[in-house]
Structures are given as C-alpha cells and as structure tokens.
Amino acid sequence: MNSVLQSIKGRLFLWIFLFISVLLIVRGTSIYYEVQKDIYDSVKLGLHSKIQILKGLLQEENGQISLEPSEIILGDYSIPRSGHYYKVVLDGNILAVSPSLAGDDFHLASGELESLDEDLGEKVYISTGPANEPIMVVLHDFHILNKDVVIYAARSLEAGNAVINRFIQFIIVTVPVYIAIIAFAGLWIAKRSLKPLKMFYSRIEKITHRTLGERIEIDLQPEEIKGLARSFNGMLDRLQKAFDSEKRLIADASHELKTPLSVIKTRCDILLQKDRSVEEYTRSLHIIKSTSDTMRRLIDDMLSLARLDSGVLSSADFTTIPLNDCLKQSVKLAEVLAEKGGINIQTSLAEDVYVSGNLNTLTEAFLNIIENAIKYNRPGGSVNIAVSKKGGRVGIRIEDNGTGIEKNDKEKIFDRFYRGRASRNMEGTGLGLSIASAIIKAHSGEINVRSEVSKGSCFDIILPI
C-alpha cells in the first residue's frame, strides 16, 4: 500500500477511485430519495383527489348528512383488502366505509405522521394496512352543519415500494460496475498522462558527467513539463559551468605550480652535482624559499576560492560589523608593501557605517584590491580610499594613479589565474581579484572597475547596509 501511495500514478488512481465512488454513491442516494418522493407525492395527490370526490358526494337533507357511495364503490374499492380504502366519520360515527374494509375493525390513522398541511386541513400518515401491507393514509377533517366530519383515504404503497426496491437493486449492481470501469479508465488516463514524465526521466538517466553538454528539448515537452525541463536545463548549465571551472582550476593550478616546482628541482639538481661554496648554497636556498612562498600563497588562494565555491560564506552566519574596521585593517596589512614602493595611501572614511557580513573575508577582499593598486602603481604614486553612503547602500572607491588596465584585459581581470600582459612579470598568483569578487558577491554586493592606461584604475564596490 505504501508503494502505491508513494507513486504518482497510484495516488492519481486512488483519488479518481475515491472521487468517483463518493460521487456515484451520493448521486445514487440522491436519486433514490427523489424517486421515493415522486412516488409518494403521486400517491398523495391521488388520495387528495379521492378525498375531494368523497367530500363532493356528501349530501344534506332535512338537517341530516348522508353519502351516496354508489359512484365510487366500483373498482379496487369494492375488493376486500385490495389496498384501496376510504372511511367517512361523522361526529365520531362511521358514515361510510369502502367495501375493501368491510369486516375489518381497522384504524387507518394509526401509523406515523409524515406531513401536515394546515391550509388544506390534511394529515398524511404512513401505516400498515389490513393485509399487513404498507399504506399511505390522508386524513381530512372539516365541519358541516356544526358537525365534525373526518374523511380517510388510503392506498397501498407496495407497488411504489417495489419500484423503489428495483431501483435500489439497480444501484447496488451498477454503481460498483461503474466505479470499476471509471477507476480502470482513470488508471489508463494516469498512465497515458504520466508517459511524457517517464520519457523525461529516461532522457535524464542518459545524461552523465561525460555528456553534460546535452539538454532536454523544451519545445518537444508537454506544457506541464516545460517548466521542469527548463529548470533541469538550468541546473545542467550550472553544473557544466562548475565542472568547467573545476577543470580550468585544476589545469591552471597545475600550470602555475609547475613553474615553481621546476625552479626548486633545478636548484636542487645544480646543488647536488658537486660541492658548492657557502655563498652558493645560501643563494640557492633563498631562491627555493622565495619559490616556496609563492607556492604557499598560490595554495592559500586556491583554498580560499574552494571555500567560497562550497558556499561556506553564508548570509545566515553574517553579523553587523563596522565597515571602517575592515578598511583600516586592510590598509594596515598593506602598509609594508606600500612603503617598499613609496606608495602613499590616503583614506576618506564615513562615520557610523555598518554592514552585514564577515569581518575577516571582507578585510581579505579589500586587502587584495589595495595590494593590486599598490603593485601596479608607479613609484611614488598614491592609492585613495573613499567611503560614501547612497540610500540603503554604501559605496567604497579604491583608486590609484598607476599603469592602468588595457581595454582587452579589463573584462577578464576577475577571471581566475588571469594576468594581463602588463602583470605577467609581476609577483602574484592571478587569484587576488577573483577572490575579492567572490567575497563581494557573497555579501550581495557589486564590484566594477574603471581604468585608463597610464592614468590608473578605480574599483567601485557597492554593499547593502
């Protein structure tokens, strides 16, 4: 049963089965009561007409009331226990009685009161007749010549009940058949309706890491599945982009690590060829150490990117932090590098600016951009850092008057391991701006660059307050 409920097809079948079952049962019950009401109303109308006839046959002569029954004792009313009865009572005494009741001391109004019509002065009873048959009795009382007159007219319900019973038997037989037919039709419809979905996931199963370039043909799908196909294709796009990025990262990392490893190996091979002087050993060890430091920075940057890609920087873990503290810490960490190049760092910070984020990662992002502005600056140049509020956002501008960025390089400077022509001989890993961009975006921010060759670059960062 659980497997059926866990299946869409099974749930559709059960819902159709339950809906049709309830619908047919409710409709069958409704028709049953409608048929019974129509039959009883027909009998009631006939009895009402009979009472009116009996009432019209009452005659008054010399202050006496009599009934001439010769016109109505024919037919079923003349046959004993025929199921058609009448009785006329005058001041408690029987004035007339149908031959069908002759010899029976039977009270016609002894049953259950079904309805009362005060305007017509009629009461309707469901009772049991002289032959133990179900009957309907209509009682009409009125006054004539200050005398109480009560007319009873009754008729057997056996024929009507027989029709109702046949209808019940019909319902009992046909409703389950209809339910079964419609349920299996619903199962067939469910199978046909879900066939495109089956074809859809069969198509999905064929897509592997080797065939990530394949996509679901959206136009060929039913309207209900187009949204799912579009979402799935979007997921494949993101997966392919992630795989491509991973492949590119591995390839770039291998390439970047290959050069320093070659330097270290070459130095070691030279030192091991023959005995060297202390000065030669010292010089080679310095080269190996410098190369190792480059490798360490590269690995650290790669780990930072990997953590950012994994979503470790989540807004759920952000706290309210003072933006000035991030920038001051970044400037302090960059001072040593700035002093070596004779670069002057100037700041113009706004007071009481707080952002939601991670203090350490934002400091790292600003530091990477500031170090980039120092490295590609001219001797004795400057780096200006300014903060300004803009509505519900804060803008940070980091501007230098260095070498600038060529137009062809400007669109790629945030790509991983990308290094422009002017920076290929400079020390660095090519990951600093990529890390900065990823951190800013993780904080729901934006980063843009404006640059002009030989005049400098300006990085504009916008963060929500």
Task: Say yes or no to pLDDT of 64 above 70.
Answer: yes
State in words which class domain 220-308 has: mainly alpha
CATH number of 2-163: 3.30.450
Average pLDDT over residues 272-295: 83
Amino acid identity of 148? Answer: D
Give pLDDT, residue 103. Answer: 63
Q: Do domains 220-308 and 315-464 have the same CATH topology?
A: no
Q: pLDDT digits over 392-435, tens only?
A: 899 999 999 988 888 888 878 888 777 666 555 566 667 888 88
CA dihedral 82, 88, 93, 99 (to 10 degrees): -30
Task: Give me the residue spans of the domains in the chain.
Answer: 2-163, 220-308, 315-464
- Identify the residue with better confidence: 286 or 107: 286
Give pLDDT, residue 102. Answer: 66
pTM for this predicted structure: 0.50
Give pLDDT, residue 462. Answer: 93
Question: Structure tokens of 103?
Answer: 């010899």
Tell me the fold of 315-464.
Heat Shock Protein 90 (3.30.565)
Task: Say yes or no to pLDDT of 385 above 90.
Answer: yes
Give pLDDT, residue 87. Answer: 87
Give pLDDT, residue 331. Answer: 92
75: left (phi over 0), alpha (psi -120 to 50) or beta: left
Query: To which residue do tokens 């059926």 refer?
Result: 4
CA distances from 347 to 238, 386, 390, 394, 455 (A): 40, 6, 18, 15, 20
Which range of 5-9, 229-233, 241-245, 417-421 scores highest in mean pLDDT? It is 229-233
The mean of the pLDDT values for the chain is: 82
Give pLDDT, residue 105. Answer: 62
Distance between alpha carbon 89 and the CA centroid of its chain, in Å?
74
- The one-character DSSP state at 317 is G
Average pLDDT over residues 235-250: 77
Average pLDDT over residues 76-88: 83
Phi, psi values for residue 93, rounded to 5°:
-110, 140
CA distances from 412 to 13, 66, 257, 407, 432 (A): 56, 120, 21, 10, 13
HSE-CB of 64 using CA atoms within 13 angstroms? 6
Burial readout 389-419 (b: 16 or more C-beta within 10 A, e: otherwise): eeeeebebbbbbbbbbbeeebeeebbebbbb
Query: Is 186 in a helix, a strand, or coil?
Result: helix
Query: To which residue do tokens 């010769």 refer?
Result: 70
Phi, psi values for residue 133, rounded to 5°:
-95, 150
Give pLDDT, residue 362. Answer: 92
Q: pLDDT digits over 312-366, tens only?
A: 677 777 899 999 999 999 999 999 889 988 999 999 988 888 999 988 889 999 9
- Identify the residue with better confidence: 224 or 454: 454
Q: Are 213 and 240 in contact (CB under 8 A)?
A: yes
Nearest to 63 by CA among 173, 178, 133, 147: 147
Give pLDDT, residue 3. Answer: 53
Nearest to 150 by CA among 133, 137, 132: 137
Average pLDDT over residues 31-60: 87
pLDDT above 90 covers what percent of the chain?
15
Among the listed ranges 142-156, 240-254, 259-273, 436-450, which one has the minimum average pLDDT value?
A: 240-254
pLDDT above 70 covers what percent of the chain?
91
* Strands across the sheet containing 134-144: 93-97, 84-90, 147-156, 134-144, 122-128, 112-117
Residues 6+ apart with CB under 8 A from 22: none
- The one-character DSSP state at 400 is E
